[in-house]
């Protein structure tokens, strides 16, 4: 009887195991960590893959389905969910990467896309990144490091050029102050080192030479051995039109940018991206994930202003809207170290423009919980990625500074701008704010 029982169990269990293995290989669940427009667009694109079953978002927003209420810094909660639901995890924002989510998941045998804590230092410590650039002869501006406000101010008053003051740690895109005068530099130093506006993230600061040129974003996908370029893009970091006012996380972006032509793209790829990946390897660090170089172009030469170790937000939205290839396959290629076997990513021969709709007052304080109208309208030419929204009593209300990332394709940059702005007009709430010149600087270079 026992023998027959064992055979019966094998007949039931073995096929179901095989089914699980096949299912995992061909159809997996994805957990997108984050709640912004970038994460909505990553999930939207991954959901189009034939290999992806359900896309979960932690914690997601008012526009994403399958939200799980786990915050991005609850690494145990995220790992438990990913493990219980057989998820391939994709990390959107930098904070969990800097906390070591990838190291933790790797130790637990869970599949996760993104760099380790050590590799994430490229973004989590601006000082570490600058010193890395310097010792590896990767083009960047000159800089000094300070933890003392008096010495920092003395230095600023000795030098002749204008400076950029940067908090060492993560400050949600706000810890970089581009100064127009010595007075502004002194105020920025006090704000970080004395008033502690960014808390411990501003215990140490960098004072770097300000160079004025054209800024663009160059993002590549790496598996630690090679890096393949994503489409080029340009962000609009300042809050007001014509690049005035304080820095934000980004008020709009478009892709591709004519500012980075084929030759320049090759130069950035070789001299900055490939060199970064190989220099990291030489230092014993394998970088897997999106490597984002914030570039300043001056007299045709690219300088690294900063690194990010994840997709840009909002650059991600227009880039992914133009991506024809299956994003999931490439993210798996990064994790498995097999990118060299994959074909180049294919892109739609179109332009995409993303306009951020924000709440008035962002990037400082802004009202929340305004009711949003117009989302039920037809958006034929555009996709409305949600960011700071949430659903409450069957209504969508504002829940953050950047509320939507309205993204549209067009045959030309001009038509993509027109489609995207057309769509922004359909959405309204009491404190809606947007820049009116997104993409315009791209037109001047065509
Ligand atoms: N858009 C700039 C960033 O993602 O940091």
313 Cα–ligand 1 center, Å: 5
Q: Is 70 exceeded by the pLDDT of residue 25?
A: no
Q: Minimal CA–CA distance to 93: which of 110, 115, 77, 109?
A: 115
**310 Cα nearest atom in ligand 1:** 4
Please report the pLDDT score of residue 173 as a whole number.
73
63 Cα–ligand 1 center, Å: 21
Which has the higher per-residue pLDDT, 5 or 54? 54
Closest Cα to atom 2, ligand 1: which residue?
312
315 Cα–ligand 1 center, Å: 7
Q: Kindly state if the Cβ of 313 falls inside 6 Å of ligand 1.
A: yes
Q: Is 70 exceeded by the pLDDT of residue 8?
A: no
Q: Is 70 exceeded by the pLDDT of residue 4?
A: no
Q: Kindly state if the Cβ of 315 falls inside 6 Å of ligand 1.
A: yes
Are the C-beta atoms of residues 136 and 110 closer than 8 Å to each other?
A: no
> Which of 292, 354, 356 for mutating ligand 1's site (highest number of atoms within 8 Å of CB)?
292
Closest Cα to atom 3, ligand 1: which residue?
312
Q: Per residue in 306-337, pLDDT tens?
A: 999 999 999 999 999 999 999 999 999 999 99
Please report the pLDDT score of residue 398 as a whole number.
98
Q: Per residue in 379-433, pLDDT tens?
A: 888 999 999 999 999 999 999 999 999 999 999 999 999 999 999 999 999 999 9
Calculate what percentage of the chain has a pLDDT beyond 90: 90
Q: Per residue in 116-159, pLDDT tens?
A: 999 999 999 999 999 999 999 999 999 999 999 999 999 999 99
Q: Kindly state if the Cβ of 123 falls inside 6 Å of ligand 1.
A: no
3-state DSSP assignment of residue 163:
strand
> Which of 243, 249, 319 for mutating ligand 1's site (highest number of atoms within 8 Å of CB)?
249
**253 Cα nearest atom in ligand 1:** 1
Beta 87-91 vs 28-34: how paired, if at all?
parallel
Q: Is 90 exceeded by the pLDDT of residue 12?
A: no
> Which of 173, 246, 253 for mutating ligand 1's site (highest number of atoms within 8 Å of CB)?
173
Please report the pLDDT score of residue 381 as a whole number.
80
Q: Is 70 exceeded by the pLDDT of residue 271?
A: yes
Please report the pLDDT score of residue 445 as a whole number.
81
**313 Cα nearest atom in ligand 1:** 4
Tell me the CA distances in angstroms from 92 to 121, 137, 224, 392, one per residue in order.
16, 29, 19, 24
Q: Is 50 exceeded by the pLDDT of residue 16?
A: no
155 Cα–ligand 1 center, Å: 29
Q: Kindly state if the Cβ of 215 falls inside 6 Å of ligand 1.
A: no
Which has the higher per-residue pLDDT, 92 or 444? 92
Element (H, E) at 53: strand 52-59
Q: Kindly state if the Cβ of 250 falls inside 6 Å of ligand 1.
A: yes
Closest Cα to atom 4, ligand 1: which residue?
312
355 Cα–ligand 1 center, Å: 14
The total of other beta-carbon atoms located within 10 Å of residue 175's CB is 23
Q: Per residue in 28-60, pLDDT tens?
A: 999 999 999 999 999 999 999 999 999 999 999
> Which of 250, 251, 253, 306 for mutating ligand 1's site (highest number of atoms within 8 Å of CB)?
250
Side-chain-side CA neighbours of 24 within 13 Å: the count stands at: 12
Q: Kindly state if the Cβ of 169 falls inside 6 Å of ligand 1.
A: no
Average pLDDT, the chain: 94
Interhelix angle 182-189/149-158, rounded to 10 degrees, is: 160
> Which of 308, 363, 387 for mutating ligand 1's site (highest number of atoms within 8 Å of CB)?
308
Which residues are paired to 90 by β-bridges? 32, 113
Q: How many Å apart are CA 194 and CA 396, to the nearest integer? A: 40
The tokens describing 96, both together, are 């969990």
Tell me the CA distances in angstroms from 193 to 188, 202, 209, 313, 350, one per residue in order.
9, 6, 19, 28, 46
Place of tokens 């990467």: 97
Q: Kindly state if the Cβ of 308 falls inside 6 Å of ligand 1.
A: yes
Q: Kindly state if the Cβ of 312 falls inside 6 Å of ligand 1.
A: yes
Q: Kindly state if the Cβ of 173 falls inside 6 Å of ligand 1.
A: yes
293 Cα–ligand 1 center, Å: 10
> Which of 239, 252, 309, 315 for mutating ligand 1's site (highest number of atoms within 8 Å of CB)?
315
Q: How many Å apart are CA 213 and CA 215, to the nearest integer? A: 7
Q: Minimal CA–CA distance to 93: which of 45, 47, 40, 54?
A: 40
């Amino acid at each position: 009887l026992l023998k027959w029982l064992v055979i019966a169990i094998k007949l039931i269990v073995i096929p179901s195991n095989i089914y699980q293995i096949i299912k995992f290989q061909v159809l997996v669940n994805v957990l997108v960590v984050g709640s912004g427009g970038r994460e909505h667009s990553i999930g939207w694109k991954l959901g189009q893959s034939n290999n992806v079953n359900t896309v979960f978002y932690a914690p997601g927003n008012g526009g994403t389905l399958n939200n799980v209420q786990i915050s991005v810094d609850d690494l145990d909660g995220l790992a438990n969910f990913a493990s219980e639901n057989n998820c391939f995890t994709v990390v959107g924002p930098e904070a969990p990467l800097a906390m070591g989510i990838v190291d933790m998941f790797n130790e637990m045998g869970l599949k996760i896309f993104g760099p380790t804590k050590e590799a994430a230092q490229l973004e989590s410590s601006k000082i570490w990144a600058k010193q890395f650039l310097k010792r590896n002869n990767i083009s960047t501006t000159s800089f000094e490091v300070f933890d003392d406000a008096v010495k920092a101010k003395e230095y600023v008053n000795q030098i002749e050029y204008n400076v950029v003051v940067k908090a060492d740690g993560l400050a949600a895109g706000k810890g970089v102050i581009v100064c127009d005068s010595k007075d502004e530099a002194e105020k920025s130093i006090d704000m970080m080192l004395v008033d502690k506006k960014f808390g411990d993230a501003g215990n140490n600061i960098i004072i770097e030479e300000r160079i004025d040129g054209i800024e663009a974003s160059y993002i590549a996908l790496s598996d630690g051995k090679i890096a393949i370029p994503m489409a080029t893009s340009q962000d609009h970091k300042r809050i007001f039109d014509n690049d005035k006012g304080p820095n934000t996380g980004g008020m709009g972006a478009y892709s591709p940018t004519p500012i980075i032509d084929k030759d320049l793209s090759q130069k950035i790829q070789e001299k900055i991206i490939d060199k970064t990946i190989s220099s990291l390897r030489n230092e014993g660090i394998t970088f897997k994930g999106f490597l984002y170089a914030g570039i300043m172009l001056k007299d045709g030469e690219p300088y690294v202003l900063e690194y990010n170790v994840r997709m840009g937000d909002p650059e991600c939205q227009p880039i992914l809207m133009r991506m024809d290839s299956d994003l999931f396959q490439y993210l798996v290629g990064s994790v498995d170290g097999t990118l060299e076997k994959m074909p180049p990513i294919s892109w739609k021969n179109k332009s995409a423009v993303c306009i951020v709709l924000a709440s008035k007052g962002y990037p400082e304080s802004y009202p929340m919980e305004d009711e949003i109208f117009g989302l039920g309208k037809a958006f034929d030419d555009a996709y409305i990625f949600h960011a700071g929204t949430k659903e409450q009593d069957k209504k969508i209300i504002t829940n953050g500074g950047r509320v939507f990332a309205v993204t549209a394709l067009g045959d030309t940059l001009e038509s993509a701008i027109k489609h995207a702005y057309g769509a922004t007009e359909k959405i309204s709430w009491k404190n809606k704010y947007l820049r009116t010149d997104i993409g315009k600087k791209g037109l001047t270079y065509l």
